[in-house]
Amino acid sequence: MQNAITRTDFTFPGMKSLYIGKVRDVYNIDDELLIMVTSDRISAFDVVLPRAIPYKGQVLNQIASKFLDDTSDIVPNWKIATPDPMVTVGRLCEPFKVEMVIRGYLSGHAWREYKAGKRSICGVPMPDAMKENDMFPNPLITPTTKASVGHDEDISKEDILKEGLVSQEDYEMLEKFTMAIFERGTQIANGMGLILVDTKYEFGKANGEIFLIDEIHTPDSSRYFYKEGYEDRQARGEAQKQLSKEFVREWLMANGFQGKEGQQVPVMDDDFVNLVSERYIELYENITGDKFERADVTNVPARVESNINKFLEAYYR
C-alpha cells in the first residue's frame, strides 16, 4: 500500500488532459473543471526529490483552501470543492500571462538584486540604505512572466502593458486585488505570530470575470518570518527565523547537493522523510492555528481517486 503520492495517472469521465507539475497533477474535465491533486512530491533547487513526504500534499492543499475561503470576499476564486484533503476542484480559467509577486520586506530575490547595487526591481524604486529583511515603507508589486519553459522573469508594469500581456483595465484590478489579499494575509499571519514577508498570486479569467487561481499563502509560495525576535535579530544583523521549507535546502547543501550538474541527490532515509513530514505538519499548525487532522494513508492513491469519482458523479448528476 502507498502512504504517499509521488504521481497520479487517473482516468476520469470527460477528462481532456493531465498536466504534471513539480508538485501538482492537474486534470482538465470537459474544459469546465480543473481537478488539482497536490501530491507529496517535494522539490528543491528546481529538482523533484526522489522520496515523497507523507501528509505534505494534505498540508499544502488545506492551507491554500483555507486562505482561498478567507479572501473570497475580496476577489472570487476558482475553488468549487475539496473532495479529498489533497484535492481541490475548481472552475477552469484562462490564466493571465503574469504572476503577481508582492514583497513587504527586502528578502530573497529582491535582496540579491539590491546587494548587486540595483535600486529598482520591475521598474519599482527601492529606498537607499536598507538592510536584508528590512520592511519596505509600502509593499512592492514586482510581477514576473509565466514561463512555460525555464525560469520566470521579472517584468515591469509598463512592459506588461506595452507587450499586451494584460489590458490596462485588468492590470489595475490585479494590482488592487494583490494589495488587498496581501493585506488580509498580513493580518492573518500577524494573529498567528508570523510576518508574511512576500508571496505570489495567480489570476485568471472566466466569462469576463477575474478569479484568483492556484494556491495562496502556502509555505511553498510564500515566505514567513516569526514575529517574535524579528526586531532584535534585525538590530543585531542576524538571519531571521523563517517558517518555510528552507530546512530541506539546508540539509541538501550540508550533504553536497545544490542542484548542479553532476551532483547526486543524497539518500533520504526514512528518519529524514518522517522528520520533513513532521515539519510540514508543524508549518500547517503555525500558519492556520488549527490542529492538523491526519487523513487515512493506508492507500492514498485509491482514497484520492475514489473521492474524486464520488464528487464528479454528484456534480454531473
pLDDT at 249: 87
Q: Where in the chain is the domain with CATH 3.30.200.20?
A: 15-92+247-315
3-state class (DSSP) for residue 178? helix
Q: Is the pLDDT of residue 131 over 80?
A: yes
Beta carbons within 8 Å of 194's beta carbon, 6+ residues apart = 224, 225, 226, 227, 243, 286, 287
Residue 259's pLDDT band (boundaries 50, 70, 90)?
confident
Q: What is d(CA 14, CA 178) in angstroms, rounded to the nearest whole number?
A: 34
Q: Are 158 and 129 within 8 A, CB to CB? A: no
Helix (H) or strand (E) holding 189: helix 168-191
Please give the C-alpha separations between residue 268 and each of 8, 53, 252, 280, 285, in angstroms, as whole numbers: 22, 10, 9, 16, 24
What's CA 55's distance to the chain center, in Å? 16
Beta carbons within 8 Å of 175's beta carbon, 6+ residues apart = 100, 141, 157
HSE-CB for 7 with a 13 A CA cutoff: 10
Please name which of 294, 254, 253, 299 lies closest in space to residue 274, comparing C-alpha atoms: 294
If you write DSSP's letter for every residue of 232-276 in order, what string do you get?
HHHHHTPPPPEESTHHHHHHHHHTT-SS-TTPPPPP--HHHHHHH
Q: Where in the chain is the domain with CATH 3.30.470.20?
A: 95-242
Residue 178's pLDDT band (boundaries 50, 70, 90)?
very high
**91, three cell numbers:** 472552475
pLDDT at 44: 87
Question: Nearest 5°: phi and psi at 11?
Answer: -125, 120
Q: Is the pLDDT of residue 151 over 70?
A: no
Question: What is the topology classification, in CATH, of domain 95-242?
Answer: D-amino Acid Aminotransferase; Chain A, domain 1 (3.30.470)
Q: Are 92 and 35 within 8 A, CB to CB? A: no
Percentages helix, strand, coil for the chain, rounded to the nearest 5? 35, 25, 40
Q: Is the pTM of this model over 0.75?
A: yes
**Percentage of the chain with pLDDT > 70?**
98
Lowest mean pLDDT among 6-20, 241-255, 271-285: 241-255
Q: Is the pLDDT of residue 213 over 80?
A: yes
Q: What is d(CA 227, CA 45) in angstroms, rounded to the nearest whole number?
A: 27
In CATH, 15-92+247-315 is 1.10.600.10:
no
**249, three cell numbers:** 535546502
